[in-house]
Amino acid sequence: MTPEGIANAVVSVLAAAGTLAGVTSRTRRRRNEIKENLSLAEELQKNTILRDHTPVVAWLHGKIALDVARLSGQPIGALKKPIPKGAVVFAGILLVAFGGWTYWLNRDGFVWYSLVTGALAASMLISILGMTTNREIPSGTEGALPDGAIPVDAGSASDQVVASVAMAAMGSDGRYDDDGQIGVAFRFCRHVIAGEIDEALRLADSNWVLCRIQAWLWNARSFLGDDVAQLRTIADAMMSSRSDHELWENFASSEVQNFQDAWGELDPDQLGGASRRRRVGRDYDLVVLAPVGESGGYFVNSPTPVPGGLTYLMHNVEGNWFLANHLGGAPPQPGFPPTWWVVGDPSVQELPD
């Protein structure tokens, strides 16, 4: 073979190798993986069971977002304390000095007092390791969250991205809007905790308001009398007159006191709404508000008990959402006393069999 033929063969081999390296490069592989994952996400979106009952779509979108961030060179990861370069350099100089001194002392054989300089050199090495490793800044909110919960501002870059995707998906159906079922529950809770009972009652179903009035009248029957027919007449009058009724101020004050005794320690700014929709009937949804601490919110990948959560039954009436029950999963049943569908109601316990 001529030298020219050998040169052409070498060029062909190198060109093929370069092409293969380009095709299999990390960047090209990542781009192809992103395209494949986008197609897979579209297929998963069509599966109603996986889409509505598992977070797999959010996971995959989170991975796609991370891969795009790496592809474009965006910084990702947990916040880290900066390395104190001056202290590291100073410790490095002392490490070299004490290490060299230890070596010089032991050049002709071990001497016991070299342990002092050796220990100083070792302490400098440990100091350098401490300043350059494990620099992640903890969020400080994990202890306030239930087991298995991942805060939105979690230190893991993957968790952060998946959380942001999940949070964006949560707010896409209008439930978190002011007039959505979760938004109305938030507003009701804020008004009650602030003692604004009239504003809260405007967000409540008329059946719930009637039952609250009946419960108050039943508990005040020692002053108003225990004639159920008379109590029913008073309740109907209070429902129609509201603040114009002579007993309304007493009722409102009692409601403010009762709710503040029960919810007074709650901070509405540290409550979050559960993302999964919980439909319990036509025009009825359950809404769960739970403390999220300083985390700004969290998400879970499996069924998780939520300590301190508040469960509200919301009722859609002609396109508007109202609170239907703050205690049980069914609308309260009017009566004297009304039925709230909770175990241990003192009024019910006192009733004769």
Higher-pLDDT residue of 154, 310: 310
Model confidence at 7, pLDDT cuts 50, 70, 90, reads low
Tokens 């079922």 correspond to what residue? 181
Higher-pLDDT residue of 97, 295: 97
pLDDT score of 201: 95
Higher-pLDDT residue of 4, 223: 223
Model confidence at 107, pLDDT cuts 50, 70, 90, reads confident
Largest CA distance in the chain: 119
CB atoms within 10 A of CB 77: 12
CB atoms within 10 A of CB 122: 15
Each residue's pLDDT tens digit, 171-195: 556 888 899 999 999 999 999 999 9
CA distances from 166 to 56, 186, 196, 300 (A): 10, 20, 33, 10
Residue 291, pLDDT > 90, answer no
The 3-state DSSP class for residue 313 equals: strand
Rounded average pLDDT over 297-306: 52
Model confidence at 20, pLDDT cuts 50, 70, 90, reads very low
